[in-house]
Amino acid sequence: EPEPEPEAPPKPKFGEKSSKIKSMVPPNATWTLMLANKRIKKLPFRDSATEIMAPLRDFRLLVDEAGFDVWEDFDFVVMGSPDATDQTQAFVAVQYGFGHEEMMAGIDRACAREHMVVDWRQEGEGKKAAWIGDPRLLDPELEAKNPDDRQFVLLPGDKVAVYIREAFVEQVVAGPDKSKGKTSANFVANISKMSRFTSAEPKAGVQLVVEDIRGMVRVPKDFPLEIPSRAELMWEAAKSPELVIKLEFLELAHAERDLAYWNEQLEEDLKKLGAWDVAGGMIAATTIEQDQRTLILRHQFNEVSARIVLQMVAKEFGKAMRYSKKEAEAAKEAREAMWELREGGKLSPSEALAKQPKPETPEPKPQPSNNQPKP
């Protein structure tokens, strides 16, 4: 008799593989965020996700004020920084299909709204040409005090732009460092291949990696939990998304201590604080498992709960960023008005704005000539 065929190995769970997105940001970054916009844009909670990003200055500059729609116009967005509290340190990269000419026009529009002008220059020729935009405030006194030295670089290939500190511009324009080969450290080579780095987890809509957490977080000596050294979050691009959080600890004993706290003490402590009624349902529905020095938490949302959680996150993040409800509503109205002007995406922002009637300016009244004879 023929031998039975061996059973196929089980398919990997969502989020089982490690995120690769850290390879696309400068090596000093301690946090990295990636949005797979193409996967998210058809999902019902996308507007709630927009509200989370809306308080970020770079989002407002590169998306809202430029006239773009973050889900419809961009394929991927990558952000990273060595210091989450200092926006001038942030790195941003976007991939799009509308070409550099429209991106350049959008950057010019956005900077004009911020009372800035962009000095553009080209480096390289033909297919290797890159455009560098150096934004500066129109007020020279304010510009002299401006700590933000970041510049825009539109990479060869007509589809990727980065907003990066001046210290990295030359490296990005020069292109991949062949001496580093195909290593994850060669971030310049990797930022132009965003889709490849999302394929490590093709179902993920959002990926977030935070490193050096122990160096950033200070807790009292009697704090009941050990602080992980690294955290990784993946949010599935699905109507009923799964959330996976991996917490990596320095020592095995640290992971074991936190697992024991979750299973044996967390509920009691939250009840003492009066928070169990709010958080208990979600915590009870979250599974936790240990893999050596890593704890893996999984939670399956339905469509309604996903939207509610994102709305809560947006509200609290807005408070932390001092982004008022009035500002949020005005920005939302402006997005909707721009999308209507663009006829639901049929027109680019530049095409839509070009169709708008220009405000009439009164003709200047004739001034008497200085050389007219006096009466």
Per-residue pLDDT band at 192 (split at 50, 70, 90): confident
Strand bridging mode 91-96 / 74-81:
antiparallel
The model's pLDDT over 64-101, given as tens digits with 9 standing for 90+, comes to: 999 999 999 999 999 999 987 788 999 999 999 999 99
Entry pTM: 0.84
Per-residue pLDDT band at 374 (split at 50, 70, 90): very low
Tell me the three state secondary structure of residue 289. strand
Nearest alpha-carbon partner for 84 in 215, 190, 244: 215
Longest pairwise C-alpha distance within the chain: 124
Residue 237, CA distances (Å) to 11, 254, 301, 360 in order: 18, 32, 12, 47
Q: What is the mean pLDDT of residues 18-25?
A: 88
Which segment of 187-191, 212-216, 256-260, 363-367 scores lowest on mean pLDDT?
363-367
Token pair belonging to 120: 């553009």
| Number of Cβ atoms within 10 Å of the Cβ of 71 | 20
Contact 246, 19 (CB under 8 A): no
> What DSSP line would sit under 49-68, residue for residue?
HHHHHTT-HHHIIIIITTT-
Contact 173, 130 (CB under 8 A): yes
| Number of Cβ atoms within 10 Å of the Cβ of 321 | 13
% of the chain surpassing 70 pLDDT = 92
Q: What does the domain layout of the chain look like in residue ranges?
A: 34-200+301-342, 202-300
Distance CA 152, CA 161 (A): 7
